[in-house]
Structures are given as C-alpha cells and as structure tokens.
C-alpha cells in the first residue's frame, strides 16, 4: 500500500492543557536544583530550549483510546483491535516467517494496527512533536509570544507517596515540575493512503482526549493531564487522475487491490465536495475554516459509524 501514493493528509492539531501537565523527562542530568520529576524538554535550533509534547507520547494516548473504542468488535473480516501484549497474534504473525505478500499482511491486520502500525506492518498515521507556538498564528501564539513564555514558566508541586496499609509516608517528599493549565501546543498528524474511516477513528480518539476519558502524561490519577485536542486545519492531496473530489483510498484503488488488501467498504462521495488546487501531478484540498473542518470531521465520523 505504500509503493504507490493514492492520497495523503496533514491534520493541524492544537492541544490545550485544562489541568497541569507532566510528561516526564527520562534523565534530569547533573543539575542539583532540578526537580525530582522534571518536564521533558528539547532544544529548538531557532527558538531555544522549551517544553514540548513528544509525538510518541501523544500517539500512545491516541492509539490506546482508539483501541479501547473498537476492541471486541468485528468489522467484516477485520477485528477492531488485537491484544498488544500478545506478540504472536495475527497482526504480528508474519514477522518471523518467509516472504509474504504485503496485501496478505495488511488484510490480517486489525483496524487499530492498520491505522497505527504493528511489528509486521507500517501504520497510516504519524504524530509529530507539538510545540508551544504556531508559526503562522496570532501574536500571542507565535514563537516568543505569551503562550510560549507561559508554557515555560513551569510550576513546582510537592508530593509524597502514602503507604496504603500503614497510612504513613512511603516515599518522598518529592518535587514535580508541571506545565501550567491554560497553555496550548501545536503539531501535526500525517496520514498516508488512508480510508475515510481511519480519519474517523483518529478523530474519535481525539474526542476521547477532549472529553477527559484519555489523559496525557504522568500522575493522571492526581488530576494531571486533562487536555482538549482540536483539529485546526486539514490538507488533503491526491493524484490529478483521481478526480476533482477528495476521496479515501478505498475509492481510488482497483477492485482487485481492494479485495487483496481487505479494504473495508467505502461508499463513494464520503468526503465533502470542495474546490482543489492543482499542484504538479497532485490536487491539493486545504481546509482551515472551522465550519468546513467540522464538515470533514463529521464525514469521517459517519464513515467510522457506517462500518458497524
């Protein structure tokens, strides 16, 4: 499915902290003044050292939320979600075997692994790092703006671990370094050769975050990590030969490929009809107007709901 480009999309995403956030750094170094539990940071070549949300951290939460929403369900011949602890399940069955056709491997994947990948197959979605600025945003959101500064004005919170049997202090006191509530991070999620229901499953997982059922980072049981995730832009591209209307990959492949790869049924004209702009051999559809974005999101939700 990756030997040929059928369609692709970039979703611009904003994550706003509702409660403080702690995504822990793996190593605090030799600084004796550093907090016991420090926020993860990176060094941007232009904007300096900053807190951020690693793409891997957000992807893990998104995948867990998506798997929970479809686990135990069956969609045609495809399972909703496999057992991630079972490395010998059907999604990973071909990792140590002889050469197997990629179509067969894809057909054996559950819905979650088709979107996020498995040991045997590359996923459709890639989540990029999120930073506390937006290059083309308003003045407060730009690099060096108010949001950037507030995100890096971390707060200190002191805590202890209580022994549940004795009721006394088991560990601590210790310091936690927290990104404050009310700041935003911006990033992107890339999709390649995707079906519309896969966009719907991704949106469903973002809804789980915004509704508080899935949280980010550490100390979630202590009230941290509640955030709101919003899609703020969508850019969809497909070859000129695919026509003037945006479509999922299920509409763009041949009947033979659709059957071989086990693609789920994808009714025609699922995505809203908008004007695209020819760009070389491709046609680009750029959506940054909130009502238009909502139309795409609702179409994706309908495609996901239509699987059952």
Q: Is the pLDDT of residue 27 over 80?
A: no
User: Does residue 226 fall inside a structural domain?
Assistant: yes
User: Does residue 141 fall inside a structural domain?
Assistant: yes
Q: Is the pLDDT of residue 172 over 80?
A: no
Split at pLDDT 50, 70, 90, the class of 37 is confident
| The pair of three-digit structure tokens given for residue 278, joined into one six-digit string | 């020819």
* CA nearest to 231, candidates 5, 11, 8, 1: 11
8-state DSSP, 268: S
Mean pLDDT estimate for the chain: 87
Q: Is the pLDDT of residue 30 over 70?
A: no
* CA nearest to 81, candidates 58, 113, 126, 117: 113
Question: Is 149 or 2 the better-scoring residue by pLDDT?
Answer: 149
User: Does residue 75 fall inside a structural domain?
Assistant: no
User: Does residue 201 fall inside a structural domain?
Assistant: yes
Q: Is the pLDDT of residue 163 over 80?
A: no
Distance CA 56, CA 41 (A): 14
pLDDT at res. 157: 79
What are the pLDDT digits (tens) for 241-251?
988 999 999 89
Identify which of 25-34, 163-172, 249-258 has the greatest average pLDDT.
Answer: 249-258
Going by their DSSP bridges, the two strands 74-75 and 282-287 should be labelled as unpaired
What are the pLDDT digits (tens) for 263-287?
988 777 788 888 889 998 999 999 9
Split at pLDDT 50, 70, 90, the class of 209 is very high
Q: Is the pLDDT of residue 300 over 60?
A: yes
What are the pLDDT digits (tens) for 126-144?
999 999 999 887 889 999 9
Q: What is the rounded average pLDDT of the residues 231-259?
A: 92
User: Does residue 198 fall inside a structural domain?
Assistant: yes
User: Does residue 108 fall inside a structural domain?
Assistant: no
Split at pLDDT 50, 70, 90, the class of 203 is very high
Counting residues of the chain whose pLDDT is more than 90, the rounded percentage is 54
Distance CA 246, CA 299 (A): 12
Q: What is the rounded average pLDDT of the residues 210-238?
A: 93
Structural domain count, the chain: 1
| The pair of three-digit structure tokens given for residue 179, joined into one six-digit string | 């990104």
Domain range enclosing 174: 8-69+123-305
Q: Is the pLDDT of residue 121 over 70?
A: yes
What are the pLDDT digits (tens) for 289-299?
999 999 999 99
User: Does residue 77 fall inside a structural domain?
Assistant: no
User: Does residue 293 fall inside a structural domain?
Assistant: yes
The three-class DSSP label of residue 164 is coil
């Amino acid at each position: 499915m990756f030997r040929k480009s059928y369609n692709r999309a970039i979703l611009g995403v904003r994550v706003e902290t509702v409660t403080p956030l702690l995504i822990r750094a793996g190593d605090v170094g030799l600084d004796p003044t550093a907090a016991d539990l420090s926020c993860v940071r990176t060094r941007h070549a232009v904007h300096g050292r900053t807190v951020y949300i690693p793409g891997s951290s957000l992807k893990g939460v998104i995948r867990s939320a998506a798997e929970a929403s479809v686990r135990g369900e069956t969609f045609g011949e495809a399972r909703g979600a496999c057992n991630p602890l079972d490395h010998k399940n059907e999604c990973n069955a071909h990792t140590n075997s002889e050469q197997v056709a990629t179509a067969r491997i894809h057909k054996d994947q559950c819905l979650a692994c088709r979107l996020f990948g498995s040991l045997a197959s590359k996923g459709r979605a890639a989540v990029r790092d999120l930073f506390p600025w937006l290059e083309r945003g308003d003045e407060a959101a730009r690099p060096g703006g108010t949001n950037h500064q507030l995100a890096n004005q971390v707060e200190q919170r002191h805590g202890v671990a209580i022994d549940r049997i004795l009721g006394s202090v088991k560990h601590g006191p210790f310091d936690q370094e927290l990104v404050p509530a009310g700041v935003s991070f911006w990033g992107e999620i890339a999709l390649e050769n995707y079906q519309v229901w896969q966009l719907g499953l991704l949106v469903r997982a973002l809804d789980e975050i915004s509704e508080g059922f899935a949280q980010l980072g550490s100390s979630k049981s202590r009230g941290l990590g509640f955030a709101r995730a919003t899609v703020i832009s969508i850019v969809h591209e497909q070859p000129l030969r695919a026509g003037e209307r945006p479509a999922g990959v299920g509409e763009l492949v041949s009947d033979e490929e659709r059957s071989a790869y086990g693609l789920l049924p994808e009714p025609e004209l699922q995505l809203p009809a908008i004007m695209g702009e020819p760009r070389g051999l491709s046609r680009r559809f750029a959506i940054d107007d909130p009502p238009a974005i909502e139309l795409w999101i609702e179409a994706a939700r309908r495609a996901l709901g239509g699987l059952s």
